[in-house]
Amino acid sequence: MSATIPAGTKWWSGGKSPFNVSYGKVMMWYFLMSDAFTFGAFLISYGTIRFSVNHWADPNHVFNSFPFAGHANLPLAFVSLMTFILIFSSVTMVLAVHEGHHMNRKGVEKYMILTIIGGLGFLSCQAWEWTHLLTGEHVAMLNDGTLSVLPTTVKMNPWGEALSSSEIMTALQKTSHEQLVAIANTLHHGAEGAHHAVETLTNQELINQIASNTEFHATHTGPIAFGGYFFGITGFHGFHVFSGVIINIVMYIKTKLGHFDQRGHYEMIEKAGLYWHFVDLVWVFVFLCFYLV
Amino acid sequence: MSAQHFENPEITFQPDHSGGTGKIWKIFWVLSVLTIIELALGYFLYAKHGELSYATVLSTKCVIGILTIAKAYYIVSVFMHLGDEVRNFIMTIVVPLILFVWFIIAFLSDGTSWKNLRNTRGGSRPAETEQVEKAAAEHSAH
């Protein structure tokens, strides 16, 4: 699709743009380059902190669930879905740009709608994943040596190293009745009748019940920076996806109203496309740094 | 379906848009296959967790990193059409990004250094009272 440019063209001799690109597109590229440095700085800062501690949260343990799959252990599954949604919406976006080159308004409309749906699908996945982490229930040992049921937030997370069974027994002895009930309840996975049954048990009965459960495992609390980096970076990326969806909706409406036909070209679709592909590009690296390695 | 025509003084040579969508779909498959290979390697690391040597884990992670850079190349070059722009323009985008090479090496080795200092208590001075006690002990030994 590149232009046929005569060999030996003197770009810098004056009278023409040495870049052969419109001002708007040049500036979109430079904005995206600066944004790449912002994301790069975030990810490298994350990497630095991750390299500076002896133990980091294992992504295969943190991200191992899938909507409606209950407690099944499915590492990498949900994030693959998110990745393919974003790749596919990138393809529909580039198809929209392609239709724009041929001044085909109906084609642009169709592919913009598909791109918007892909973006919303990705955001929904991210909303589910955040909710799952923020309301998650995992047992971890606090600094005071007691066990507690923790979610993953920017202040705390349960993704430290596993405790040995003797460490668990010592910690259980120190743990309050309230927390023992909460821990026992995580083992019943919220069965309604069981909830009331455990509250009436004594501490020792609760400890026996918890310790005899083969599914029970507990960890140290995880590296505190994990939550901040995860929610910060995926949140910043998610905000880019969100603004990308808004831009795409505006572009869809403008296409529908025939603004680009009047203008004689669909360059705005190309610029929105550049932004959208950039969002996909950043995800490729977020996917690498948080989920794969 | 008339080809677009814009009267833009910044564009000396009009790009040729007569190509079909074949290349787009080809790149879609390339990206999908690269992603599937990445996931397979990621799953390999998970399934063999604790059994692999440090060198194997590190080199698998490096391969995943290289595949990621390949994906980034295809997205930028084909989907964002940067490969179709003139060389002058490509260079103004790509050359500044070379800073990342230094950026990554410098910061990740700094992180490793922090870890080593923390584990060996290297680089930390003894507290002032300890220094005084040590000096006093040395003095009395004489």
The predicted-structure confidence for A49-102, as pLDDT tens digits, reads as follows 999 999 999 998 899 889 988 778 899 999 999 999 999 999 999 999 999 999
The predicted-structure confidence for B48-98, as pLDDT tens digits, reads as follows 988 999 999 999 999 999 999 999 999 999 999 999 898 889 999 999 999
**Mean pLDDT across the stretch B115-123?**
80
Asked if A50 reaches chain B (Cβ–Cβ under 8 Å), the answer is yes
pLDDT score of B42: 94
Residue A238 has pLDDT above 50, yes or no: yes
C-alpha dihedral sign at A117, A119, A120, A126: positive
Pick B1 or B3 by higher pLDDT. B3
3-class secondary structure per residue, chain A: CCCCCCCCCCCCCCCCCCCCCCHHHHHHHHHHHHHHHHHHHHHHHHHHHHHCCCCCCCHHHHCCCCCCCCCCCCCCHHHHHHHHHHHHHHHHHHHHHHHHHCCCHHHHHHHHHHHHHHHHHHHHHHHHHHHHHHCCCEEEECCCCCEEEECCCCCCCCCCCECCHHHHHHHHHHCCHHHHHHHHHHHCCCCHHHHHHHHCCCHHHHHHHHHHCCCCCCEECCCCHHHHHHHHHHHHHHHHHHHHHHHHHHHHHHHHCCHHHHHCCCHHHHHHHHHHHHHHHHHHHHHHHHHHC
Q: A281 to chain B nearest CA, in Å?
A: 6
Q: How confident is the model at residue A14 (pLDDT cuts 50, 70, 90)?
A: confident
- Cβ-defined contact of A284 to B107 (cutoff 8 Å): no
Residue A188 has pLDDT above 80, yes or no: no
Pick B132 or A71 by higher pLDDT. A71
Give the one of B4, B7, B96 whose C-beta lies nearest to A33's C-beta.
Answer: B96
Pick B11 or A246 by higher pLDDT. A246
CA nearest neighbour of A112 among A240, A278, A251 = A251
Residue B129 has pLDDT above 80, yes or no: no
pTM for the full predicted model: 0.89
Q: How confident is the model at residue B4 (pLDDT cuts 50, 70, 90)?
A: low
Residue A194 has pLDDT above 80, yes or no: no
Residue B1 has pLDDT above 50, yes or no: no
Residues in B touching A88 (Cβ below 8 Å): 28
* The token pair that represents A202 in the structure block: 């004594």
pLDDT score of A242: 98
Asked if B29 reaches chain A (Cβ–Cβ under 8 Å), the answer is no
How far are the Cα atoms of A223, B110, B112, B121 from residue B116, in angstroms, in the given order? 17, 10, 6, 8
- Cβ-defined contact of A264 to B25 (cutoff 8 Å): no
Query: Does the complex come out with an ipTM higher than 0.90?
Result: no
The predicted-structure confidence for A115-174, as pLDDT tens digits, reads as follows 999 999 999 999 999 999 999 989 999 999 999 999 999 999 999 999 998 999 999 999
